[in-house]
Amino acid sequence: MVLAIKAIMASVSGKYEGDPNVKNKVSCSPSSSSVAEAVGINEKAWLRKLDYHLLPPLTLLYLLSLLDRSNVGNARLEGMADDIHMSGNQYLTGLTLYFIGYVLFELPCNVVLKNTTSRQWLPTLTLVWGVVATLLGIVEIYPGYLASRFFLGVAESGLFPGVVFYLSMWYKRNEQHYRVALFFSAASLAGAFGGILAWEIAHMEGGLNGWRWIFILEGLLTVVVSILAYFWVYNYPSTAEFLAEEERQFIQFRLKNDSDATINEKFTWSAVLDAFKDPKVWLYGLGFHTMSLPLYTLSLFLPTIIKELGFSAAKAQLLSVPPCAVAFVLTIGVAIASENTRIRAPFIMGSSALGCIGYILLLSQHRAGVSYLGIIFAAAGIYPAVAIVLSWPANNISGQTKRCIANALQISIGFALGYLVVNIVVVGILWLVLRRENAEKERAREAQGLTPLMGDVGDAEGDFQGDKDSRWVFQT
């Protein structure tokens, strides 16, 4: 079969060699489907084989990642805040520290991935965050909660961008989005099963408060799975044990004419700089930034939001399942439609519009049933849109190191840098507006022979018009 693949390539190249009408020989390369047919490979069945070997371990790791980061919302309902004497604002501070750790270490984690292997790095990250998540169950004081959340963010930071880069080394560009969506669908599954699992665990008998068992048991599960992942996660096509030599040749052929995955590219800092200088990378990041706030407020606060509608804590845990189940179905459905049409942006905008309808219903209605329907619409819009946004750079960015950095940078921008960039823009606009109005007031004072107010406003002569008064100078 290996010789057959090489022979087909040679025959096509020879057929057009020297033909003055053929300017681009790459376009004359045989399609992967024609090669597959010639050598007796069922390409669809072969892709399913890849999916069965690659996606289950990655999806399970991400599912555990989301359970371990979002179960704090379930634990809060079961009394965690009261036991460690934590106010609502202090709880939010812990959530914020998670994302600070995530953002700070996301880029370094992908640099490590590029210089090691997926089998070494991804399970190690999982093992570390599993230990940290377990330790959350024995926290007694508020500083311990803060430290645990920060280091949980550090450990989890490398998984998602690392997996997106990893999949880009296995699948053709138009095949990647559907696989990223399957992988990301674990986010909605985590929300669906997390509520049921937390409710069951919290009502166990075992000498500890229920919220502690949520962290301990789910964290220990992550530790066990991480050990299995050292044998379950594969490296890249050239060394994957489940591939025969002819299959390696076939996958190399498929990727060679579609992406840069077959190039033996060494890590260079110039490629890292190239990612930072590319404005499209920043736009991908800002695209995720606009989705990150609704995504994580929904995933982290879903049980609390439902409880505020008037339901008990137990019912709130269970009612968090339907919105996430609907989101799971739509994430897969939209991914299939996007892959078949090779269109990304319209599906992102359409899904976001559905999410907007959900938030309008949630915020404008005081009836529990209508508000709950709004939650379902919001989840059904947010998750499909995020899945496409996060797979977009892997589809379009060429250069392995640049793509690896861009995948990490996208989420870093989405979590924190996006807010800082928007802050700079907003403050800059406000600064210009205030300076312009101060200049207009100065001209008005000169025309009227007035001086700025330097002391008590009560000393002002005549009618004082508030901040519209020409004597009132804005601080810039």
Query: By the 8 A CB rule, do 169 and 237 touch?
Result: yes
What pLDDT, on a 0 to 100 scale, did the predictor assign at position 222?
Answer: 95
What pLDDT, on a 0 to 100 scale, did the predictor assign at position 111?
Answer: 85
Q: What is the CATH number of domain 43-262+272-427?
A: 1.20.1250.20
Least confident interval from 42-46, 127-131, 310-314: 310-314
HSE toward the beta carbon, residue 194, CA cutoff 13 A: 30
Question: How is residue 185 written in tokens?
Answer: 């669908």
What is the C-alpha separation between 317 and 323, in angstroms, rounded? 12
DSSP labels, 148-205: HHHHHHHHHTTHHHHHHHHHHTTS-HHHHHHHHHHHHHHHHHHHHHHHHHHHHHHT--
Q: Residue 24 above 50 pLDDT?
A: no
Question: What band does 145 get if pLDDT is binned at 50, 70 and 90?
Answer: very high
Q: Is 446 exposed, middle or buried (0-12, 13-18, 19+ CB in 10 A)?
A: exposed
Least confident interval from 215-224, 288-297, 401-410: 401-410
Question: How is residue 150 written in tokens?
Answer: 């920060």
The residue count for the chain: 476
Question: What band does 63 get if pLDDT is binned at 50, 70 and 90?
Answer: confident
Q: What is the mean pLDDT of the chain?
A: 80
What pLDDT, on a 0 to 100 scale, did the predictor assign at position 38?
Answer: 57
Please say whether the dihedral angle defined by the alpha carbons of residues 75, 79, 85 and 90, taken in this order, is positive or negative.
positive
Domain ranges within the chain, ordered by starting residue: 43-262+272-427
Higher pLDDT, 316 or 386: 386
Question: Considering all CA atoms of the chain, what is the largest pairwise distance in Å, rounded to the nearest integer?
Answer: 97
Q: Say which residue the tokens 């861009």 belong to.
A: 406
What is the C-alpha separation between 445 and 454, in angstroms, rounded? 14
Beta-carbon contacts of 192 under 8 Å, excluding residues fewer than 6 positions away, are 320, 321, 324, 325, 328
Query: By the 8 A CB rule, do 54 and 46 touch?
Result: no
Query: By the 8 A CB rule, do 476 and 438 touch?
Result: yes
Question: What band does 22 get if pLDDT is binned at 50, 70 and 90?
Answer: very low
Q: Residue 476 above 80 pLDDT?
A: no
In percent, the amount of the chain with pLDDT more than 70 equals 81
Average pLDDT for residues 46-65, to the nearest whole number?
91
Average pLDDT for residues 393-417, to the nearest whole number?
71
Higher pLDDT, 58 or 96: 58
